[in-house]
Amino acid sequence: MNAEIIAVGSELLTPERLDTNSLYLTAQLNALGVEVVAKAVVGDDRARLAEAVRFALARAEIVILTGGLGPTEDDVTRDAVASALDRPLVFRQELLAALEQRFRRLGRQMAPINRRQALLIEGAAALPNHHGTAPGQWLEHAGRVVVLLPGPPPELQPMFADYCLPRLRPLLPPLVIRTRVLRVAGMPESDLDQRISPVYTRYQDPLTTILAAPGDIQIHLRARSASETEAERVLSELSSQLEALLGENVYSRDGAPLEAVIGQLLRARSVTLSVAESCTGGLLGERITSVPGSSDYFAGGFLVYTDRVKTELLGVDPELLRAHTAVSEPAAAAMAEAARARTGSTFALSTTGIAGPGGGTEAAPVGTVFIGVAGPQGCRVHRFRFLGNRDRVRTLAAQNALDLLRRELVEHPGRCRRI
Amino acid sequence: MNAEIIAVGSELLTPERLDTNSLYLTAQLNALGVEVVAKAVVGDDRARLAEAVRFALARAEIVILTGGLGPTEDDVTRDAVASALDRPLVFRQELLAALEQRFRRLGRQMAPINRRQALLIEGAAALPNHHGTAPGQWLEHAGRVVVLLPGPPPELQPMFADYCLPRLRPLLPPLVIRTRVLRVAGMPESDLDQRISPVYTRYQDPLTTILAAPGDIQIHLRARSASETEAERVLSELSSQLEALLGENVYSRDGAPLEAVIGQLLRARSVTLSVAESCTGGLLGERITSVPGSSDYFAGGFLVYTDRVKTELLGVDPELLRAHTAVSEPAAAAMAEAARARTGSTFALSTTGIAGPGGGTEAAPVGTVFIGVAGPQGCRVHRFRFLGNRDRVRTLAAQNALDLLRRELVEHPGRCRRI
């Protein structure tokens, strides 16, 4: 079966915004063996959208629309699809009641304009929205499936997973698609590809895709088979070869992000972590605490963005900062050791650097970052020079700090030393 | 005039890739007064692409195709457009000569397959490609403009700038496009729309688009006029009415994010800020320090994720935490006041709450967040109940904390009080 995805919203036709919901939906549809044959973006224009829906229905068995289900005048998806299918919109009292209840629970008055969200295309089933006000809609029409989903990803994704997948599966032939995601830190994409491409290019199944983000590479392996056993067999065959070539650079075999892997390692060893952040300014703590349950091992942190607070909050010797500057190996070591001492944590990470655009010097140009890793046996400091803008330098600093801790925990659990 | 952009390539229909050329093209077209009314992505399929081109020609005066001009079997754009326009492809000896010369200059042998890149749609002008092998094509057909561009951005962008813009300009009336972006915090989208839609719907020019993210709404106003003065006049006319209706909820009139606005306010008043983050775990600091130069006013912060560190790092009375729990008004107040005292900052923000998915209680269900704002005249604590997943609760907590500080700085610079 083939699908087309139509993203609705004039903001998606500006130079600033892209439709990214289609990536999530494509992954989900591919996993069912459904191919996405076209995508479209249409503005908030009833007539144009109705035309686009008619055109899509002529070439795809499944048409999924995202966005345009809000309560305002701009939200034209309900109307346009009803018009393309030549069906009326019907007002559903039970949807209004659910909306009113949602607003009451939030202690807010429902604006009359929200009544529009209780309109369903005749014959459609409403798809509950547990994370917003707009219900989705599911409709089978002349051998086609038409689905209307809300635009915000936190609303769209659970709605698709919980209410569309169970409806789609019985319509499709059984095909097993299994994916494995290896994640790699600490090496550039070109080195990685040079090392593993002679292997993965020999395989058409699983198919390999490489996605690179700053400091973080994902290797997606996708197998399509008649049986789960066969899919898992070919995945393991290819995956084990790639893992052997990449060694300890592979940090995750199930797609888990680095902060979750760190969390598992800390928890398994019953040890704790603290941070002292200068150039990352909270990004490291934010990533660590994005993992539910991180209070079990995150012992707290210090945001020490200026020399004064490095001294006042962490007790870093002002003489040391004067002699070496705050962006230096001794400063990074003192910060990590102080965070560890003040929180009583087993390990501590520190970051200090020049994120830019200003502040670079000859000795420490923009992008220079020192990362300290303190543990029971002492502290190591690593110096980096990252290229790119402020955001990229901060992202790379946080990613490398977490990766250094991971290597410490995995490789040398008892071999920390003072450098 | 209206345009549609069609990106060609099966790789753009996978879960990993997006068409980004359309962003560049949209910016260029908008600057000429051309609106992009639809975008499409089609795979490497001759028949489907020909259909998509016919559909686009029926609704847009300018149709731009990107990609699919390479030398391989998969590269179907030339064929598909020729078929959609019912014109033959003609072989052009001078294009072949240019290709052969390019290969010679690179010291490489041209593969016979590259001859295909010397095929032009009858009536088309070839657009030189100084950065790759595929020439582009420009064609005027039945009052429409059809442009074929290569997919790689380093080839597409100079080709469009050097060879398409000069051809487009004479076809278009002189038109000035100006945009203004108002940003709003502290009110839900539906309330905002109810308040301002009676005004903005009266205007076709400027055109209003509303973009909502958690706790943050952007109102884009876009004016198209014959002169800059006229564009600015209508923008100011509509903008001032919307600002009057939204009052102090408008935090930015130039699109600047909340953390940058806060930064300007703090800097203008020569005051400083510190944070004590529990449920946001660093997100607040990360946002504040994402602004270059924030070390001028960010006095540092504490990541106090557990009761123990609230006591040890901030000196919050353990009795207070036992009596009220850490997710309480007194805890938020104590945290903000301690951060202010320990860093010597003028203001301090604190967050403490249940981000979920676990940890909710009857008294403080998941999503409950207390935000403290401490300043020279005392401290106020605000209680919120946010809906959504962990990520959304944390985002809303950080956004509201920054917004509360903004209101304190703007509205009541000298009227802080203890609640």
Distance from CA of A353 to the nearest CA of B (A): 13
Residue B418 lies in a domain: no
Q: What is the pLDDT of residues B350-366, one digit of tens each?
A: 999 999 888 888 889 99
Domain of residue B394, residue span:
258-411
pLDDT score recorded for residue A419: 36
Examine the fold and report which residue of A252, A277, A298 is the final residue of a domain before the chain moves on.
A252
Mean pLDDT of A289-316: 94
Single pTM value for the model: 0.78
Please indicate, yes or no, whether residues A226 and A276 belong to a single structural domain of this protein: no
> By three-state DSSP, how is residue B256 classified?
coil
Examine the fold and report which residue of A145, A171, A197 is the final residue of a domain before the chain moves on.
A171
pLDDT score recorded for residue A168: 95
**Interface TM-score (ipTM) > 0.90:** no
Query: Confidence band (pLDDT; 50, 70, 90) for B209?
Result: confident
User: How many domains does the structure of chain A reveal?
Assistant: 3
Q: What is the pLDDT of residues A121-154, one digit of tens each?
A: 999 999 999 988 889 999 999 899 999 999 999 9
Please indicate, yes or no, whether residues B12 and B84 belong to a single structural domain of this protein: yes
Please indicate, yes or no, whether residues B312 and B241 belong to a single structural domain of this protein: no
pLDDT score recorded for residue A154: 92
- Chain A residues inside the 8 Å CB shell of B16: 23, 209, 211, 220
For chain A, the straight-line distance linking the first and the last C-alpha, in angstroms and rounded, comes to 60
Please indicate, yes or no, whether residues B209 and B305 belong to a single structural domain of this protein: no
Chain A contact for B87 (CB, 8 A cutoff): no
Q: What is the mean pLDDT of chain A?
A: 93
Residue B208 lies in a domain: yes
Please indicate, yes or no, whether residues B192 and B139 belong to a single structural domain of this protein: no
Residue A388 lies in a domain: yes
Inter-chain touch B220–A11, beta carbons under 8 Å: yes
Q: What is the pLDDT of residues A88-127, one digit of tens each?
A: 999 999 999 999 998 888 888 888 888 889 999 999 999 9
- Chain B residues inside the 8 Å CB shell of A45: 37
Examine the fold and report which residue of A171, A196, A229 is the final residue of a domain before the chain moves on.
A171
User: CATH number, domain at A195?
Assistant: 3.30.70.2860
Residue A284 lies in a domain: yes
User: CATH number, domain at A13?
Assistant: 3.40.980.10
User: One-letter amino acid identity for A310?
Assistant: K
Q: Which of A4, A6, A13 to mutate to test the interface with B (most CBs of B within 10 A)?
A: A13
Please indicate, yes or no, whether residues A406 and A317 belong to a single structural domain of this protein: yes
Task: Give the least confident one: A45-54, A348-357, B127-136, B258-267.
Answer: B127-136
Residue A98 lies in a domain: yes
Please indicate, yes or no, whether residues B239 and B383 belong to a single structural domain of this protein: no
Residue A211 lies in a domain: yes
Q: What is the mean pLDDT of chain B?
A: 93
Q: What is the pLDDT of residues B1-36, one digit of tens each?
A: 899 999 999 889 988 889 999 999 999 998 888 999
Please indicate, yes or no, whether residues A233 and A131 belong to a single structural domain of this protein: no
What phi and psi, each to the nearest 5 degrees, are found at residue A385?
Answer: -130, 105
Residue B287 lies in a domain: yes
Please indicate, yes or no, whether residues A339 and A302 belong to a single structural domain of this protein: yes
Nearest to B306 among A51, A300, A391 (CB): A300
Chain B nearest-CA residue for A286: B282
Inter-chain touch B283–A286, beta carbons under 8 Å: yes
pLDDT score recorded for residue B418: 37
Nearest to B42 among A38, A42, A284 (CB): A38
Distance from CA of A413 to the nearest CA of B (A): 25
Inter-chain touch B286–A275, beta carbons under 8 Å: no
Please indicate, yes or no, whether residues A87 and A207 belong to a single structural domain of this protein: no
Please indicate, yes or no, whether residues B13 and B91 belong to a single structural domain of this protein: yes
Q: What contacts A333, CB < 8 A, 6 or more positions away?
A: A350, A372, A374, A379, A381
Alpha-carbon separation of residue B313 from A91, A246, A341, B282 (angstroms): 56, 41, 11, 15
pLDDT at A251 over 80: yes
pLDDT at B253 over 50: yes
Alpha-carbon separation of residue A193 from A210, A236, A251, B400 (angstroms): 8, 19, 17, 44
Alpha carbons B248 and B273: distance in angstroms, whole number: 21
Alpha carbons A397 and A277: distance in angstroms, whole number: 10
User: CATH number, domain at A290?
Assistant: 3.90.950.20
Residue B419 lies in a domain: no
Mean pLDDT of A218-224: 90
Name the strands in the sheet holding A144-149, side by side, starting at the edge strand that comes first in the sequence.
A125-127, A136-141, A144-149, A62-66, A2-8, A35-42, B35-42, B2-8, B62-66, B144-149, B136-141, B125-127
Please indicate, yes or no, whether residues B327 and B297 belong to a single structural domain of this protein: yes
